[in-house]
């Protein structure tokens, strides 16, 4: 009987030694999986924040464009005289021109670091010399100055008829 007891005691000792590496392996796999999920959640949160910031700047620019265009059509904004040469104005592409002449149609925009800005530039359309044409450029901001959206509208006023041509500026001009 003693030999059977000694054999079973020896097996238990071997089994106890094998359990520790298995438990350590399972714990390390769980730790690696948890770390991967944590990194994924952080990445998704950063992306969601960037999308929200971009949408915020887009909505601010959209509101600025609508307000400035409406003020121009209603006569509340004095439109500059068109330049002598025909062609679409390019002042909105130069930082010093935009910063000096842009106006803010509202004092603040919720969630934005700065209120939206807009610049109204008059221009002549060579094919239609009797109409008045304006290029309205709006810039909206998100939570930071880096999150910007630029929108434009070409307004063509032909007597009582107003044509609106909307476009989004894909890249920041300056």
Pick the more confident residue, 18 or 14. 18
* For the chain, domain boundaries: 3-169
Q: Are 120 and 138 in contact (CB under 8 A)?
A: no
> d(Cα 60, Cα 139) in Å, to the nearest integer?
8
State yes or no: pLDDT of 14 exceeds 60: no
Per-residue confidence (pLDDT) for residue 133, from 0 to 100: 93
pTM above 0.85, yes or no: no
Q: If you average pLDDT over residues 131-149, what whole number do you get?
A: 95
DSSP assigned state of 103:
B
Q: If you average pLDDT over residues 160-164, what whole number do you get?
A: 93
State yes or no: pLDDT of 3 exceeds 70: no
159's tokens: 């007597």
The band of 85, judged by pLDDT with boundaries at 50, 70 and 90, is confident
Listed in sequence order, the residues at least 6 apart from 6 whose beta carbon sits closer than 8 Å to its beta carbon are none
pLDDT per position as a tens digit, 31-59: 999 999 999 999 999 999 999 999 999 99
């Amino acid at each position: 009987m003693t030999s059977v007891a000694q054999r079973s005691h020896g097996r238990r000792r071997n089994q106890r030694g094998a359990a520790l590496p298995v438990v350590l392996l399972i714990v390390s796999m769980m730790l690696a999986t948890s770390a991967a999920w944590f990194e994924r959640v952080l990445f998704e949160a950063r992306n969601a924040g960037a999308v929200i910031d971009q949408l915020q700047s887009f909505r601010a620019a959209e509101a600025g464009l609508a307000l400035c265009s409406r003020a121009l059509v209603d006569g509340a904004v004095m439109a500059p005289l068109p330049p002598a040469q025909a062609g679409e104005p390019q002042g909105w592409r130069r930082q010093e021109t935009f910063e000096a002449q842009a106006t803010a149609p509202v004092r603040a925009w919720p969630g934005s670091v700065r209120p939206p800005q807009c610049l109204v530039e008059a221009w002549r359309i060579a094919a239609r010399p009797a109409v008045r044409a304006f290029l309205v450029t709006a810039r909206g901001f998100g939570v930071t100055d880096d999150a910007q959206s630029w929108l434009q509208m070409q307004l063509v006023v032909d007597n009582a008829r107003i044509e609106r041509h909307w476009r989004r500026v894909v890249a920041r001009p300056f």
